[in-house]
Amino acid sequence: MAIKQASTKEKVRANFTVPDYYKNFICKGGDCRDSCCVGWKVTIPMDQYFLLHGLSCNKKVKEKIDRTFRPILQGTPEKYAEIVHTMDGDCPLHKLDGYCLLHETCGEEVLPWVCRYYPRGPRIDYAHEASCANSCEKTLELLFEKEDKLTFETKELSFLMTKPAKLPDQEHKNLYHKTRTEIFTILTNRDYLLYERIIHLGRYLKAIETNIDVKYGDLDLIINEHDESVDESYQILWELLDDFNGRYKRLSEQLDEAKSFYLLKDVNATYKQARDKFDQTIVKHEIWFEKMLINDLFFKQFPFQNNFQISDQYLALCGTYVLLRYISINLMYDKSTLEDFIDITSKSFTVISHSEFDKLLASLMKRYNLHVSDNLAKIMQF
């Protein structure tokens, strides 16, 4: 169900469902290794642009603010202006100590919404929910503090938000809650490998198309084993991922580095070497991938994303898991810490969580027949 957005923001104070780490989130500021102030394309709405240009403050600060934001050609009221980065990709208001000159000088209330709330993502349509994006290294650090399954709790929060012009009816809200509860139950069942749980999830989503009362225990949980052919699987994966190159700069950098690892080498032997090193270095990676995926699905309201078929949302989930494993296994070969793993995956999520990545990935997977269950199960094992 697509929810039309109104054009004004209002203060919303309510009890929000949040992941267990949410209460502990604090921006790292100058301690952040990969700041969200650097290299990100940030747009702001028209009302905020004129608010910023009408501020009364120190003359030198005001001049810097005026030069930082410029209108976009053929912009819209919601995407009216953008940040003009410095030559090294930094926001001009980003201070050397890692903090924001605008925030320091004029206060939090004048910050653009995206700067004020990131990485938090509040939602108020199907349910009052808020979480933090995996693209923020602090989010992943909190997720990886413990091996326990990700749980959810209620916290009173306040946001300035655009209220939906129309809300789902109670029947759809109940379905949302019921479906997501079942999804997270499936994905946290550690009696099975993570790729097996994802396949089980696909069967559940297929089953509820005809019977919304299906339970996890009703599913066929048997998965056929496939011959291990990394070379064949990687050839398909490389063809698919080559279509991403140039579309997303930060992801392309990672894909180029990962693929270069195999140049003029035996693919099977090189993969086994990289995977063994990854298993030894990031011993709990199965748990970390589980928690990252669940946090991302909660953040995106899976499988109720707007204008996106459930089958395609599921394909995107499968592709995201394969992509994260592929990048992590290969880029971690010459690295040795959990901090390195966080830096790699959080960089990937700057694209995964903040672009049209999901829809493009689902489309490409269908082009390469990876929507066929056997083909999908085969590539997900690596």
Strand partners, 157: 14
Do 202 and 127 fall within a single domain? no
Do 160 and 204 fall within a single domain? no
State the Cα–Cα distance between residues 162 and 122, nearest whole angstrom: 10
- Please give the residue that has the higher pLDDT: either 231 or 241: 241
Mean pLDDT, residues 190-205 taken together: 95
State the Cα–Cα distance between residues 224 and 313, nearest whole angstrom: 23
Do 84 and 231 fall within a single domain? no
3-state secondary structure of 379: helix
pLDDT for res 226: 60
**Worst-scoring range by mean pLDDT, 32-46, 225-239, 361-375?**
225-239
In the predicted structure, residue 240 carries a pLDDT above the cut 90: no
- Provide φ and ψ at 205, rounded to 5°: -65, -35
Confidence label for 4 from pLDDT (cuts 50, 70 and 90) = very low
Tell me which amino acid residue 374 is. Answer: D
Picking from 164, 190, 210, the residue at the C-terminal end of a domain is: 164
What's the domain count of the chain? 2
Do 231 and 360 fall within a single domain? yes
Could you tell me if residue 172 is inside a domain?
Answer: no
Confidence label for 227 from pLDDT (cuts 50, 70 and 90) = low
Nearest 5 degrees, angle CA 311-CA 120-CA 182? 40
* DSSP string of 102-158, one letter each residue: HHHHH-GGGS-HHHHHTTEEEE-SSS-EEEE-TTSHHHHHHHTT--SPP-EEEEEEE
* DSSP string of 260-303, one letter each residue: HTTTTS-HHHHHHHHHHHHHHHSTTHHHHHHHHHHHHHHHHTTT
Mean pLDDT, residues 340-362 taken together: 95
Could you tell me if residue 267 is inside a domain?
Answer: yes
Within its chain, how far is the Cα of 304 from the centroid?
15
What digits encode the pLDDT tens for the residues 87-113? 988 999 999 888 899 998 888 888 988
* 8 Å CB contact between 45 and 78: yes
Picking from 140, 164, 188, the residue at the C-terminal end of a domain is: 164
Do 216 and 311 fall within a single domain? yes
Confidence label for 359 from pLDDT (cuts 50, 70 and 90) = very high
Query: At a CB cut-off of 8 Å and minimum separation 6, what does 85 contact?
Result: 39, 91, 92
DSSP 168: P
DSSP helix, strand, coil percent of the chain (3-state; round to 5): 50, 15, 35
pLDDT for res 78: 86
State the Cα–Cα distance between residues 42 and 111, nearest whole angstrom: 12
Parent domain of 16: 5-164
3-state secondary structure of 16: strand
pLDDT for res 58: 83
Could you tell me if residue 181 is inside a domain?
Answer: no
Could you tell me if residue 277 is inside a domain?
Answer: yes
Do 211 and 155 fall within a single domain? no
- Please give the residue that has the higher pLDDT: either 258 or 40: 258
State the Cα–Cα distance between residues 139 and 120, nearest whole angstrom: 10
pLDDT for res 5: 34
pLDDT for res 2: 33
pLDDT for res 3: 35
In the predicted structure, residue 6 carries a pLDDT above the cut 50: no
Do 156 and 243 fall within a single domain? no
Picking from 164, 188, 208, the residue at the C-terminal end of a domain is: 164
3-state secondary structure of 32: coil
Do 220 and 270 fall within a single domain? yes
Pairing between strand 5-19 and 152-164? antiparallel
How many Cβ atoms from other residues are within 10 Å of residue 7's Cβ? 11
- Please give the residue that has the higher pLDDT: either 133 or 240: 133
Q: Which two tokens stand for residue 370?
A: 């990876």
Do 376 and 235 fall within a single domain? yes
In the predicted structure, residue 276 carries a pLDDT above the cut 90: yes
Q: Which two tokens stand for residue 257?
A: 């580095």
What radius of gyration do the chain's Cα atoms show? 22
Strand partners, 154: 17
pLDDT for res 328: 97
Could you tell me if residue 173 is inside a domain?
Answer: no
Query: What integer best gives the mean pLDDT of the chain?
Result: 90
In the predicted structure, residue 133 carries a pLDDT above the cut 50: yes
Could you tell me if residue 367 is inside a domain?
Answer: yes
Do 127 and 69 fall within a single domain? yes
What digits encode the pLDDT tens for the residues 311-343? 999 999 999 999 999 999 999 999 999 999 999
Do 154 and 260 fall within a single domain? no
pLDDT for res 134: 98
What digits encode the pLDDT tens for the residues 137-168? 999 999 999 999 999 999 999 998 888 888 89
Do 48 and 133 fall within a single domain? yes
Could you tell me if residue 184 is inside a domain?
Answer: no
In the predicted structure, residue 1 carries a pLDDT above the cut 80: no
**pLDDT-above-90 percentage for the chain:** 60
- Please give the residue that has the higher pLDDT: either 377 or 357: 357
Confidence label for 174 from pLDDT (cuts 50, 70 and 90) = very high
pLDDT for res 279: 97
Could you tell me if residue 191 is inside a domain?
Answer: no
Q: Which of 26-30, 53-57, 132-136, 355-359 has the highest mean pLDDT?
A: 132-136
